[in-house]
């Protein structure tokens, strides 16, 4: 049995399900006459939904053109949430009291199922998370006995609350590959070599860790920053000095995560939670995380200097 093919098939299925959710938001956005930008909002979600469902079948230039339209709609502020059904906090409190500890079963199902599937089956980790999410959704319906209509309504509320930020992770993931292909790492290496003294291990390590954090803040993605900063700073100023590649590479990546904690570009971790929790200050999470992130970044520099050499 080809489990790689099964994993890819599952991922395609999950992309299609996400696309269907976005098309559902398209229909509900069109019906929302209170939203002055309902046509632009509906077009945004329709295009994004089509990309998620049919993107692998469409010519790349067609998908690129659709992304340009999505960008124009966002830039011209034609994508607005409109009227979102308010949460019934009284109902939520009553249900929490009624269900008790069972309310934690769905989120636990995601963590446990994803771990078990990834650990004990050949299915990929990404596909395992998707399977776990489906199992958690089924668990939610069993535990709460909710009407399936609530799934559609809450999905619409979540998608509209997150808004245009939802496309940011996909764009940032592609940005790292584009930067590497464009030779950004070589440019950074040339610029840094004219400033940093050759042979100073501590300065090289500090530049590597700080560079990872800063570039991750720009890109919002430590994986995308890793190839660029490792090529530009890591190889000439750290690995060339005799650093253990496994230790230095692992610490460089987690140093980049310190930058993730301090940037709105880290949409999944910083902007989306603020939107879903309906916090007025969209940077509130970043403000709380920044001191810890800076302390962790300093610790990374020390650890790489001590452990990698």
pTM above 0.85, yes or no: no
Pair 179, 95 in one domain: no
What's the mean pLDDT when you consider all of the chain?
Answer: 84
Phi-psi group of 139: left, alpha or beta (phi > 0 → left; psi -120 to 50 → alpha; rest → beta): alpha
Q: End of a domain among 17, 45, 75?
A: 75
Assign 173 a pLDDT band (cuts: 50, 70, 90): low
Say whether 22 sits in a helix, a strand or coil: helix
Separation CA 206–CA 200 (nearest Å): 10
Pair 67, 126 in one domain: no
Domain contains 297 = yes
Pair 231, 117 in one domain: no
Pair 59, 94 in one domain: no
Asked whether residue 3 carries a pLDDT value surpassing 70, the answer given is no
Pair 174, 303 in one domain: yes
73 within 8 A of 54, measured Cβ to Cβ: no
**pLDDT for residue 87:** 66
63 within 8 A of 51, measured Cβ to Cβ: yes
Pair 140, 57 in one domain: no
Domain contains 183 = yes
Total structural domains in the chain?
Answer: 3
Pair 135, 242 in one domain: no
**pLDDT for residue 83:** 76
Separation CA 154–CA 227 (nearest Å): 38
**pLDDT for residue 168:** 73
pLDDT digits (tens, 9 = 90+) for 62-111: 988 998 999 899 889 888 887 777 666 777 777 777 778 888 888 888 88
Domain contains 152 = no
Pair 288, 198 in one domain: yes
Q: How far from 27 is each of 44, 91, 110, 299, CA to CA, in Å? A: 12, 27, 29, 50
Q: What is the mean pLDDT of residues 15-22?
A: 91
Q: End of a domain among 52, 75, 98?
A: 75
pLDDT digits (tens, 9 = 90+) for 108-164: 888 888 888 888 888 887 888 888 889 988 988 888 887 788 788 888 888 887 777
Question: Percent of the chain beyond pLDDT 90?
Answer: 21
Domain contains 107 = yes
The H or E element spanning position 67 is helix 60-75
Q: What is the mean pLDDT of residues 201-215?
A: 90
Q: Dihedral (C-alpha) 187, 188, 190, 192: value to the nearest 10 degrees?
A: 160
Q: End of a domain among 51, 75, 99?
A: 75
pLDDT digits (tens, 9 = 90+) for 214-234: 988 887 778 778 878 888 888
Q: How far from 242 is each of 49, 247, 290, CA to CA, in Å? A: 48, 12, 32
**pLDDT for residue 252:** 92
Assign 247 a pLDDT band (cuts: 50, 70, 90): very high
Please state which of the ranges 133-142, 173-182, 209-218 shows the lowest mean pLDDT: 173-182
Q: What is the mean pLDDT of residues 258-264?
A: 88
Pair 244, 293 in one domain: yes
Assign 44 a pLDDT band (cuts: 50, 70, 90): very high
Asked whether residue 265 carries a pLDDT value surpassing 80, the answer given is no
Residue 49's domain comprises: 3-75
Domain contains 159 = no
Pair 128, 37 in one domain: no
Pair 65, 197 in one domain: no
Q: What is the mean pLDDT of residues 209-218?
A: 89
Domain contains 7 = yes
Q: Other CB atoms closer than 10 Å to residue 148's CB: what's the count?
A: 7
Q: Dihedral (C-alpha) 120, 122, 123, 124: value to the nearest 10 degrees?
A: 100
Domain contains 65 = yes
The H or E element spanning position 48 is helix 38-54
Which residues, including other chains, have CB under 8 Å from residue 108's CB and lie 6 or more apart? none
Pair 302, 233 in one domain: yes
Domain contains 84 = no
């Amino acid at each position: 049995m080809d489990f790689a093919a099964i994993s890819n098939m599952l991922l395609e299925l999950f992309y299609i399900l996400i696309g269907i959710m976005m098309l559902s938001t398209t229909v509900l956005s069109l019906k929302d006459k209170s939203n002055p930008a309902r046509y632009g909002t509906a077009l945004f979600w329709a295009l994004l939904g089509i990309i998620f469902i049919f993107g692998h079948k469409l010519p790349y230039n067609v998908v690129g053109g659709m992304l340009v339209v999505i960008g124009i709609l966002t830039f011209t502020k034609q994508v607005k949430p409109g009227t979102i059904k308010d949460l019934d906090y009284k109902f939520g409190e009553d249900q929490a009291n009624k269900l008790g500890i069972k309310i934690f079963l769905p989120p636990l199902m995601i963590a446990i199922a994803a771990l078990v599937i990834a650990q004990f089956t050949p299915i990929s980790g990404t596909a395992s998370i998707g399977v776990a999410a489906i199992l958690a959704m089924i668990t939610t319906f069993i535990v709460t006995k909710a009407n399936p209509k609530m799934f559609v309504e809450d999905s619409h509320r979540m998608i509209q609350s997150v808004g245009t930020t939802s496309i940011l992770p996909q764009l940032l993931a592609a940005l790292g590959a584009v930067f590497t292909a464009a030779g950004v790492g070589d440019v950074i290496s040339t610029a840094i070599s004219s400033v940093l003294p050759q042979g100073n291990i501590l300065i090289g390590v500090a530049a590597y860790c700080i560079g990872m954090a800063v570039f991750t803040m720009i890109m919002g993605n430590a994986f995308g920053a890793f190839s660029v900063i490792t090529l530009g700073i890591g190889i000439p100023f750290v690995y060339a000095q005799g650093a253990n590649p496994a230790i230095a590479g692992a610490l460089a990546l987690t140093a980049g995560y310190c930058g993730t904690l301090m940037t709105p570009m880290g949409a999944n971790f910083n902007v989306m939670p603020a939107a879903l929790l309906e916090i007025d200050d969209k940077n509130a999470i970043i403000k709380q995380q920044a001191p810890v992130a800076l302390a962790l970044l300093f610790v990374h520099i020390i650890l790489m200097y001590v452990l990698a050499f």
